Structure formats: C-alpha cells, structure tokens
Amino acid sequence: MISFVVVFFCFFYVYIFFFFQAEDGIRDRSPSRGLGDVYKRQGQGTRFGGKKQFLEIKGKPLWKHVHDKLCKFISDEDIVVVGVDTEGGITRSQSVINGLTYLKEKGKAYERVIILEAARPLITLEQIQKIIKDEHKSTTYALPLTSTVVKRDGSYLNRNELYKLSTPVAFDFDLFYEAYTSGKYFDYTDDTRIMYEQYGIKPFFLEGGENMLKVTYHSDLAILEMLMEKYDL
C-alpha cells in the first residue's frame, strides 16, 4: 500500500505526480511541502471562449486555487509543469504523453500518477488526500447521475447504473505510461478508459460531490462562486 507518509519521505523512491491543468508558462515557484505535482496544459478553452485557467476568482486565477491546496503536501522540487517544464499539447492526450515522457526521462522510479484539472478549483484537501492514499491501478472520482439519460436513437438508459466521471484520477505509473505510449489511443475524454481498453482494468470509484463542478461555460461561474461561499473557499 502506498501511504502518505512513505511518499512524503520518499524512503523507497516512490513519488506521486499530479498532472494539473494550467497553460502558457505561468507558474508559482514558492516553497511547498510534500509529494509531487505536474501541471497539465489541456485544450484551448474553446467552449468557454478563452483560457479559463487564468480567470480570476476571489483574487487569484482558477489554477492557483488548486495549486495552493496541493502545496499543503507537495514539494516544489517535485513539481513538473507541462507547458512550462515540457511542451504542452493541443489535445489532452498529447499533454499527458508529454508529461509522462518528461517524468520518464528524469530517471526516477515513479509508482503512481495523479491527474487533476484547474477547471475544478473546489477540490478539497480531504479529497486530494483520499486519492493519494488509494492503491488501485486505476481510480477515479465519480458522481451519480441526477438527470434522465437517453441515447440519440431515442432509447433510454437506467441512470441508477451509470456514473458521471470526474477528476482527480490516479493510476499505476508504469501501466499508464505503457498504455499511453502504445500509440493505440488518441483523444479519449477520460484516462480511465485507456487503462480499460489496454488491460481490461476497471476503475475503482471514489464518491465525488457537488464541489467537483467543472468550469466549462461562463454560466458555470455563478454556480462556482455560490459553492465557494458555501464551502468557505
């Protein structure tokens, strides 16, 4: 089992790295404590109409809200920023591959990789800790569906049998790297599917909450600010 203490002290050269969505080279190098962190550049904000990662809420950009929470655990020397330390990609898959390749080239033995998004700035410290401590080969936060779901052919699905996937997600580093660099998978909307397609590994689900709202459209900002007040963030 990977424990928070083992990773923190790095006794066994075990590191956890976080892909964290940020863009275009803006990065805070202030000292932090703990594990490891990778910022992931992802997409161009086409649905939002701009680079939402730098939109300021309560005096700081979205990505900084997540970054400051990660700094409770993560040492800056173990932070790798895709888009700064290594080139970001136009697509999610390209960014992930660039980040994983950069980590491989560092020559260290990484055991786990954890991916977060700046577009979900309400992630809590407890939720981050929970996925850090998880030891499954593929893990994701998931939320129950609250709306009726129908296929485009008009047939209905049972929402009680379905989940809406979220981030953070976590994986066995070597398996995830092998799958991503196999050249078989491109532009999947969720990384857990790559582990399933490559190895048949089904994700382990951690229960998420309303705080995992993803800022996709401008209309999400009002909901975000309301939730920030609710959670006193």
Q: Is 103 helix (H, G, I), strand (E, B) or coil?
A: helix
Q: Which domains does the chain have, with CATH numbers?
A: 12-230 (3.90.550.10)
Q: Residue 156 corresponds to which amino acid?
A: Y
Below-50 pLDDT ranges, the chain: 1-16, 19-50
Q: What is the pLDDT of residue 79?
A: 63
Strand 60-61 to 56-57 pairing? antiparallel
Sheet of 204-207: strands edge to edge?
74-81, 35-40, 16-21, 112-116, 163-172, 138-144, 204-207
pTM above 0.85, yes or no: no
Q: What is the pLDDT of residue 80?
A: 65
Burial class (CB in 10 A: 0-12, 13-18, 19+), 194: buried
Q: Is 23 helix (H, G, I), strand (E, B) or coil?
A: coil
Q: What is the pLDDT of residue 36?
A: 39
Name residue, tokens 């330390």.
Answer: 85
Closest listed residue to residue 21, CA positions, set 112, 108, 120: 120
Q: What is the pLDDT of residue 92?
A: 79
